[in-house]
Amino acid sequence: METVTAAVTHDPPGPASGRPGKPLIVTEDADLLDDLLRLCAAAGATPEVHHGVPEPRGSWEAAPLVLVGDDAARRVRGAGRRGGVVLVGRDQDDSGVWRRAVEIGADHVLMLPDGEQWLVDRIADVAEGVGRPALTVGVIGGRGGAGASTLACALAVTAAREGLRTLLVDGDPLGGGLDVVLGGEAAAGLRWPAFAGSRGRLGSGALEESLPELHSLRVLSWDRGDSVAVPPQAMRAVLAAARRRGGAVVVDLPRRIDDGVAEALAQLDVGLLVVPAELRAVAAARQVASAVQLLLRDLRVTVRGPYAPGLDDREVARLLDLPLVGEVPVEPGLLRPHEHREPPGAAARGPLARFCREFWERALCEVRVG
């Protein structure tokens, strides 16, 4: 009998306050308790421990996750039915575990040690207070120099100014570093090489706190070393952690699609293809779009002027057969480089910030309706 997890019936209730709650452990098995405490520690959670159903039963009802040792199944049989109950045991050959799980209304049956990683992830969700995942937007240039990094920075700066928890991810190791664009190349915090070996689950709170904070948002960029790619496992771990924090995640992506970029595309909610309004750029963008759409269902086009004869933003979108977001406006200050200029989108009343603000309003409305 192969048993790790099974029979998901409903999600655990969240704490009434909206804050992360403590998992509840019910067992008298000292060895099992040691294992469960170890897994809670690995997930960053401090549990409440009882030998039976707590009296009064507030903890049983309010805990976002209840881990019941197989030794305690009989003692909790009369407790009120609720979601988020996991029956934990070790005997893979005990067919009676399913009957006991049904008797206590468990959502899952889990056997250690096989199910340890699943349980750590579930406990970490509780510890972090998982809510609605972040709206994740990728920005890709239709050709070199299209202005994708500028738009990505402007979107992130605008989202942060509008009060969203925001993370800007630099997915292009050859782009020179988005921390430079934001004027924070010397800011303290970790860069991509620190996460290159990441596998499995990253703590979302720890990720956020480890990154440089610039213009009220967090930035994951590159150092000045020789790294030229993000391993797909690292990209998966970082973006999954970022999404769990909620708010907005903006990813600046290269046109070259390697395994790491493919992983990022798979986690996006929407992609924006930035295309200069010239025929050669449209031809190049068509090739980029064909590759991206193999991995991303919702790809849209933004057009940047000036326009070649016979082209406008609608015609560019028609030629690419993509939904049109609009024309990315020119920000006059960005055309006059000087030593201490503000980052893209920093001028709250500027045309670029207005474009970004309208994009977020529409995108967030789509998420709520969906």
The DSSP result for 291-348, as a single string, is HHTTT-S-EEEEEESSPPTT--HHHHHHHHT--EEEEEPP-GGGGS--TTPPPTT-ST
CA separation (Å) from 175 to 130, 242, 280, 335, 351?
33, 21, 22, 18, 25
Listed residue (106, 32, 99) closest to 65, CA to CA: 106
For residue 143, give both structure tokens.
């050709």
pLDDT tens for 217-244 read: 999 999 877 777 889 999 999 999 999 8
Residue with tokens 């924070």: 184
Please give the average per-residue pLDDT across 254-265, as a whole number.
94
β-pairing, 108-111 vs 85-89, is: parallel
Most confident of 15-19, 172-176, 233-237, 339-343: 233-237
Q: Round to whole Å and give the CA distance between 252 and 264.
A: 10
- H helical segments located in the chain: 30-43, 58-62, 96-104, 116-128, 148-161, 178-181, 204-210, 232-244, 259-267, 279-292, 313-320, 351-369
Residue 56's pLDDT is 73
For residue 83, give both structure tokens.
């979601």
CA separation (Å) from 145 to 5, 141, 149, 246?
49, 7, 9, 31
End-to-end Cα distance, the chain: 40
Residue 245, SS3? coil
Q: Round to whole Å and give the CA distance between 97 and 115.
A: 15
One-letter amino acid identity for 299?
L
Output the DSSP codes for 151-181. HHHHHHHHHHHTT--EEEEE--TTS--HHHH
Query: Average model confidence (pLDDT) for the chain?
Result: 88
For residue 109, give both structure tokens.
């049956």
Residue 2's pLDDT is 32
pLDDT tens for 115-129 read: 998 898 889 888 776
CA-only gyration radius of the chain, Å: 24
Contact 325, 302 (CB under 8 A): yes
pLDDT band at 43 (very low <50, low <70, confident <90, very high): confident
Q: Round to whole Å and give the CA distance between 303 and 37.
A: 54
User: Global pTM?
Assistant: 0.75
Residue 92, SS3? coil
For residue 273, give both structure tokens.
């293809």
For residue 16, give both structure tokens.
């009434």
Higher pLDDT, 365 or 131: 365
Residue 338 has pLDDT above 80, yes or no: no
